Amino acid sequence: MADSNSSNDELPFHEGQIIAGKYEVDRILGQGGMGVVVSAHHIALQQKVAIKFLLPQALAVPGAAPRFLREARSAVAIQSEHVARVLDVGAVDGGPPYMVMEYLTGSDLRNVLEQAGRLSIAQALDYVLQACEAIAEAHAIGIVHRDLKPDNIFVTRRKDGSSLVKVLDFGLSKPTKEDALGGPTPSLTATHVVAGSPQYMSPEQVRSLKSADHRTDVWALGVILYELLTGQRPFEADSLAGIFAKIAADPPLRPRALKGDLPPGLEAVILRCLEKDVSRRVQDVAELATLLEPFAQAESRTSIERIVRVLGKPAIKAPQRSADPMEAHIPTVAASPPPPPRSQPRRDPRAAAPTVAQKPAGGPVARAERPVQRRDPADFSPMTPMDIDVSTRAVHPAQRGRPLARADNGPPSQVSDLKLGGPIRVLVAAVLIGVADMVVVRMLGQSIALGPVKPLMIAGPLAGIGAIWILVKILKR
């Protein structure tokens, strides 16, 4: 708010004054060393606006007027809801320039911190990720802010009541492309000029404003996130020189020393933003947003996706979210290479045979065969005349695993083909006995009386019946 003791004679306007024939000044909203912001309204449209004036004494500062114009051009060039819109620019008759902006209700993060002390992880990440959306669009068109701090991040509300972050004050912005701001602008990067807010300046910005690129904004976002979560800035000293010395040489105090419940992974992300070596720092806001995703609320996923798309980065698969934020981690950069393949051990010829035969290249598919355990034939006695054990219908142990003769019209016969060998021999034996009995009976019946032949005639059928009974029993097994 404005100082009540300020004299209107020092200001380039007064309440009720008409600016450019269309804006009427209502009241003073705030005043700083370089400018003042007032509430006004458009007379014809009855639209409430905010007008920022550059104070007359500020015109004597080298580069102040070009900086003021640069701020307006940068805000207009960035098409984002997270940047305060600039509606008009001009100059008071015979006085300093002014800038007409959208009127915002709410407060900046400096006031939020003064009231709350520190913010929750979810709230802090929500504000920072929304600010990253604005910075991503600025970086995409070649504009670096170079003066990010809680005072320049404004929190307002949408119609549905959700928070909406606006990034303000692009006065120190630096175009990295020749046409980023639509034309040449006077240089504000003389090596002897120190511009910015000391506690949020990167080491390269402390050395020279010329050497600050988009990664200086990443540093400032890391400092802001550090302060939102812990309530303190990472680099503090009693003098400006002391602050610059700490920024250039001293490591920051670890955030978990000030906030013990901070997830270690989130602390690691903040410290990566504060790397003094720019090559080891988080390289852009897209990478920063992706690293913050495991710790943010699901609603922030939309902001992260926008940031990645705006900067044209390939979609990065974020790690699986953990129900416990303390277990969240930073995604690994690369997986370790697979171990070299080991040589196959030599197979024991007496090892168990496979249960399913493999299909040979260009040949027929072999049938699945029953597992057969191969043994050394020396473990058994020599072969007996009867190779087939009829009682078990199994191959003699000495014959197990030996392939049978191949038929001309098909693949080799399997062990199961021998199961009928016993019954067939028994059947043949029974038929032969029956035939022999009939021949003997017929021969005897022609030479002797039938009386003595009757037992033989009865024995023949009985032998046949017995053979059939044995065959049925074998088949049932």
Is the alpha carbon torsion for 448, 451, 453, 457 positive or negative?
Answer: positive
Q: What is the pLDDT of residue 12?
A: 64
Whether 361 maps to a domain, the answer reads no
With a threshold of 0.85, does the pTM exceed it? no
Whether 84 maps to a domain, the answer reads yes
Residues 35, 136 within the same domain: no
Range of the domain at 457: 423-476
Whether 413 maps to a domain, the answer reads no
Whether 354 maps to a domain, the answer reads no
Q: What is the pLDDT of residue 316?
A: 53
| 254 neighbors 271 (Cβ within 8 angstroms) | yes
Bridge-based pairing state of the strands 23-31 and 48-54 = unpaired
Task: Find, among 197, 236, 244, 200, the residue nearest to 219 by Cα.
Answer: 200
Residues 208, 286 within the same domain: yes
Q: What is the pLDDT of residue 135?
A: 94
Whether 394 maps to a domain, the answer reads no
| Cα gap 29→39, rounded to integer Å | 6
| Cα gap 292→287, rounded to integer Å | 9
Residues 260, 142 within the same domain: yes
Residues 93, 120 within the same domain: no
Q: What is the pLDDT of residue 1?
A: 40
350 phi, psi to nearest 5 deg: -95, 5
Whether 346 maps to a domain, the answer reads no
Catalytic residues: 147
Whether 59 maps to a domain, the answer reads yes
Q: What is the pLDDT of residue 284?
A: 95
Residues 74, 113 within the same domain: no
Residues 301, 172 within the same domain: yes
Residues 111, 214 within the same domain: yes
Residues 95, 237 within the same domain: no
Residues 66, 137 within the same domain: no
Residues 111, 96 within the same domain: no
Residues 70, 213 within the same domain: no
Q: What is the pLDDT of residue 61?
A: 80
Q: What is the pLDDT of residue 370?
A: 53
Total structural domains within the chain: 3
CA 176 to chain centre: 30
Whether 295 maps to a domain, the answer reads yes
Q: What is the pLDDT of residue 53?
A: 87
Per-10-residue mean pLDDT for the chain, 477 residues long? Answer: 47 81 90 84 94 82 80 84 90 82 93 93 96 94 90 93 90 54 44 64 85 90 97 93 94 94 96 95 95 92 92 62 49 47 56 49 50 52 45 49 48 46 62 66 55 55 70 70
Q: Look up the CATH number of the domain holding residue 165.
A: 1.10.510.10
Residues 46, 116 within the same domain: no
Task: Find, among 97, 70, 100, the residue nearest to 85 by Cα.
Answer: 100
